[in-house]
Structure 1
Amino acid sequence: MAKLRVDRDAVSSWLTESAIVLRTLEPEGGSEDLTPFATVLAGVQVVGLGEATHGSKEFFTLKHRLIRFLVRELGFTVVAFEAGRSACRAVDDYIASGEGTASAALTGLGYWTWDTYEVLALIEWLREYNASVPADRRVRFHGIDSGIDPVAVQLVAKYLDTVAPQRTGPFRAAIRTLTTSGTSTSIGGLVRESVAGAVRRVFRRKAVAGSESAHTASRVLRDTVEFLRADRAELVAASSVRDWSEVVESATELANAADIAAYPLLSAKGCAVRDRYLADAVRELTGDGERVVVWAHNGHVARSTVSRGVASMGAHLSDVYGSAYYALGLTFNQGSFQASRAEVAGNTGLAEFTVEPAVPRSAEALLARPGIGDYLIDFRAARSSEPVMAWLTTPAPTRSYGAIVGFWPMMKKVTGSVTLAEEYDGLAFVERTTRARSCEPGIDR
């Protein structure tokens, strides 16, 4: 098949004409300029809000602004976060009733990526909103990720002590097997520790992944979930519906984490299992017709099969919801972000990274070409334009940074390739980013 020629002038003109130009990226900016986006999302039940980095202030503030719009104007009632399912309950309790504090709940997630003033502001706003509306309009906050979370471990163990004490010993032994072998932790735990420690864990996991002890531990945890579900009526009678539901969710998180841990850390198979479980968690949240907005990395919200042939969370959601799932990626032209530094020389820790304007012929360079600042663009509206579809269906270099960044400055220009029409339904383009502001003590703000 002949390679399509991209008419950059035509694409730039289309972007200028079709963009929803953003008056501000700040959450308090009102919603008038976002009104056209409501039409774009007509009939959409799940919106995935991505990000090209896990540490850009403007990505976080824009996502906060979009969540306000989705909640107040479009009736979305669930915010789903790329964070542990059990740990997120403290955030949900806070926004529902004011229990605890926003900062303690946020820090308790165990993800330095989210422990920022920008995400803290979102949680505080969700509490303010919930306190001002009737119960049927209040927003819930749910985690969708899986890890061997101490909150989950203690909750399940305590419950088993009460309803089935004979199961507590095998359950705790399974957890010990996973945690002492280096086969498990939440992704948040991985990015919180030193990069040197993370690298050591990668190599330990290559040795133990797939071992008989790991598989045995995984079977015990999965059997625990099956027991809890099978004896629902009896267990609810002995406790409560809420207690039972929370324990089942925590036990499921632990069993899922064990499945992920069966593969080497950050391997393609492990990432595939993780994304499938992320999608499963989102699907559970839509059971009563709820409209859900998902906060995650671009690599998770993307609709297609992304890096290393892994089916992303968005690919699974696309299979389930079709056009009722909308994947909005967030990308940028230039600026700074924070991430954990990984260097062979041992220079590690949270650091600021800065990139210059996007390289020619990259996706970001063409998005920046109109010179209209920050904007949203809906790709679904481009299907009748041959020049634009030629661009959207042609692979282009792009930027994507996770929680850990290595090989710098070699990675400053591009980190991969993307076919926009396959991955996203639309993009939010930010001209310039700055580093997110961490709430964590001892980190330079």
Structure 2
Amino acid sequence: MRSAVFGTTAEDPVTQWLRARAMSLDDLTPLRIALNGVRVVGLGEATHGSREFFLIRHRLLEFLVEELGFTTLAVEAGASASRAVDDYVQGGSGDPVDAVDLLLADPDARVALWAHNGHVMKGAHSGGSVPAMGLHLGQRHGEAYYALGVLFGAGRFRARRARFGKVDPARPPVTFRVPLVRRPAIVEARLATAHPGDHVIDLRNGPRPEAVTRWLGEPLHMRGYGAVVRRFTYKLGYMPTVLAEHFDGIAFVPEVTASTPL
């Protein structure tokens, strides 16, 4: 059977490899091996405003805490928002890379870090010239840092709309919708072909065919949206990536819905 997406058989070596390694969220046992020796896991997100990203990271955090003994959750947020979260969690009041290092001063500490894919990746932020937080963490902690990008195929997300290059802070975020784009250079297209449901794939460990090694080393693109989105060109919102260099694992959600503000 031919694939309209990749111009080859639907069961090409890359698709086979991804399908065979896809982990259900109900059974993340294979992650035990992948995360052996890891002290910091960066849990990414492709948007800041999709409900399913919070749900899948909650499930991953549950696994990290209950099964692997992770002790700390660090979140990409402003200071005031962070204090509000801490108040909720603790029942009371009370440089990101340096902050993570401080958390790791306790030899028993293990940190789960929630941030955008562009921050947890081990490269330049969104393909630019600014080194991402994940690059610094990888350089400082080596294999003890694991970057997990979280991607989606299609759906809705909330963000602020830029008009003529400016953002009006008085206007609330709006809902955007994007379709699944089936092009060979889009990572999400390959993931959607390999597995129809929510799943996690470890990219770091285990054998791989030569075709997979080539694919992981190719310049590809993945969707990425921040807090502000351009009004007319947002459907072209991609960030460049070389998966073998930037991520140790990926999680995929086929369809997302817009988050609901608290």
Instruction: Flag whether TM exceeds 0.5 (same fold).
Output: yes
1:366 equivalent to 2:187? Answer no
1:328 equivalent to 2:151? Answer no
Aligned to 1:288: 106
Given the superposition, is the C-alpha separation of residues 280 and 352 from structure 1 closer, same or farther in structure 2, using an over 3 Å criterion?
same
Deviation at 1:345, TM superposition (A): 9.5
Percent identity between matched residues is 46
Contact 2:146–2:248 (8 Å) recurs in 1? yes
Aligned to 2:248: 425
Q: 1:279 aligns with which of 97, 100, 106?
A: 97
Rounded to whole Å, the distance in 2 between the matches of 1:385 and 1:332 is 25
Aligned to 2:59: 65
Contact 2:198–2:252 (8 Å) recurs in 1? yes
Deviation at 1:303, TM superposition (A): 1.1
Task: Supply the AA of the counterpart residue of 2:256.
Answer: T
Aligned to 2:214: 390
Give the secondary-structure state (helix, strand or coil) at the position aligned to 1:69: helix
Give deviations 1:43-92, integer Å, cap 9, x for gaps: 10000000010011000111111111111111111100112457534533
Give deviations 1:311-346, integer Å, cap 9, x for gaps: 111001001110010000000111111101112298
1:91 equivalent to 2:85? Answer yes
For normalisation by structure 1, the TM-score amounts to: 0.53
Deviation at 1:95, TM superposition (A): 2.5
Aligned to 2:75: 81
Structural mapping, 1:241-390, within 5 Å: 277-289=95-107, 290-306=109-125, 307-344=127-164, 349-361=172-184, 362-381=186-205, 384-390=208-214
1:17 equivalent to 2:41? Answer no
Structural mapping, 1:62-141, within 5 Å: 62-85=56-79, 88-96=82-90, 98-99=91-92
Rounded to whole Å, the distance in 2 between the matches of 1:294 and 1:383 is 28
Give deviations 1:244-297, integer Å, cap 9, x for gaps: xx8xxxxxxxxxxxxxxxxxxxxxxxxxxxxxx221111111111210000110
Give deviations 1:105-135, integer Å, cap 9, x for gaps: xxxxxxxxxxxxxxxxxxxxxxxxxxxxxxx
Task: Supply the AA of the counterpart residue of 2:149.
Answer: G
Rounded to whole Å, the distance in 2 between the matches of 1:360 and 1:304 is 23
Give the structure with higher Rg (CA): 1
Deviation at 1:397, TM superposition (A): 2.1
Given the superposition, is the C-alpha separation of residues 54 and 15 from structure 1 closer, same or farther in structure 2, using an over 3 Å criterion?
same
- Over the aligned positions, Cα root-mean-square deviation in angstroms equals 2.3
Contact 1:358–1:413 (8 Å) recurs in 2? no
Task: Supply the AA of the counterpart residue of 1:99.
Answer: G
Contact 1:364–1:398 (8 Å) recurs in 2? yes
Give the secondary-structure state (helix, strand or coil) at the position aligned to 2:224: coil
Q: How many pairs were matched up?
A: 249
Deviation at 1:359, TM superposition (A): 3.4
Deviation at 1:378, TM superposition (A): 0.6
Deviation at 1:93, TM superposition (A): 4.5
Deviation at 1:418, TM superposition (A): 1.1
Give the secondary-structure state (helix, strand or coil) at the position aligned to 1:369: helix
Contact 2:86–2:92 (8 Å) recurs in 1? no
Structural mapping, 1:398-437, within 5 Å: 398-408=222-232, 410-437=233-260
Give the secondary-structure state (helix, strand or coil) at the position aligned to 1:80: strand
- Higher share in helix: 1
Structural mapping, 1:150-229, within 5 Å: none
For normalisation by structure 2, the TM-score amounts to: 0.87
Deviation at 1:399, TM superposition (A): 0.8
Rounded to whole Å, the distance in 2 between the matches of 1:86 and 1:403 is 17
Given the superposition, is the C-alpha separation of residues 411 and 92 from structure 1 closer, same or farther in structure 2, using an over 3 Å criterion?
closer
- Higher share in strand: 2
Give the secondary-structure state (helix, strand or coil) at the position aligned to 2:122: coil
Given the superposition, is the C-alpha separation of residues 93 and 435 from structure 1 closer, same or farther in structure 2, using an over 3 Å criterion?
closer
Task: Supply the AA of the counterpart residue of 1:72.
Answer: E
